[in-house]
Structure 1
Amino acid sequence: MSFTKADLRGNYSWIHTQEDDPKLKGEPDSSLLNRSEGYEVLYMIKKLMAAWGLTTVLAGQKIERMIKAHPAHLRSQEHVMNWIYNNWSSY
């Protein structure tokens, strides 16, 4: 199962430049996650689903909700990923 743009529930900007393309590095890193940018949110969801063996649309949508709800002071991809991992069961 592949989570797609059509599975997202939020409204996002879908404009990006080469410099902020999350696929360039291949792994969540210390660069900032723009939770309003559809490409970045979709990339993060797919990456986490693959890493954690999640296969349902509902799991992807839960990650999406958590991306939107994470504390504002956590801005890097790594920090957001760690927050989602640490709060998964309680969210």
Structure 2
Amino acid sequence: MANFSRSELKYAYYTWNKSEGECTNVEGFPDHPLNRIEGYEVLSFINRFMATHNYSLTSTFERIEEAIIARVPLDRRSHKTVKEWLETRYLSECI
């Protein structure tokens, strides 16, 4: 299972208002909004996504983070729709 930490995130603009435990308790990819600027929420999402797909490389982690921040359209708001976009539009081409 992927278990990257805060230090692996390359973008510096994250807020850290939620607790890590609050974000790691999310199961699966729910239909509620993914806060793309909340560091622990993004970190938890990436770790879950990588575990789901058996990814483990740091370079993959970095590509997923970059995609969430810079490529996933803003109308993809929920964990579920971000996951679906990553699976169909981006990662199949890059990983």
Q: TM-score, normalised by structure 1?
A: 0.87
Residue in structure 1 matched with residue 60 of structure 2 by the alignment: 59
Task: State how 1:22-61 maps to structure 2 within 5 Å.
Answer: 22-61=23-62
The Cα shift of 1:25 comes to 3.4
SS at match of 1:72: coil
Runs of 4+ off more than 4 Å: none
The number of residue pairs the alignment matches comes to: 89
The Cα shift of 1:30 comes to 0.6
SS at match of 1:49: helix
Residue in structure 2 matched with residue 71 of structure 1 by the alignment: 73
Residue in structure 2 matched with residue 85 of structure 1 by the alignment: 87
RMSD (Å) for aligned C-alpha atoms: 1.8
The Cα shift of 1:66 comes to 1.1
Residue in structure 2 matched with residue 5 of structure 1 by the alignment: 6
The Cα shift of 1:23 comes to 2.8
Q: How far does the alpha carbon of each residue in 1:14-68 deviate from its partner, in whole angstroms, 9 at most, with x for none?
A: 1116xxx333332220110011010110001100110100011111111101111
Structure 2: gaps of 5 or more residues? none
Q: TM-score, normalised by structure 2?
A: 0.83
Structure 1: gaps of 5 or more residues? none
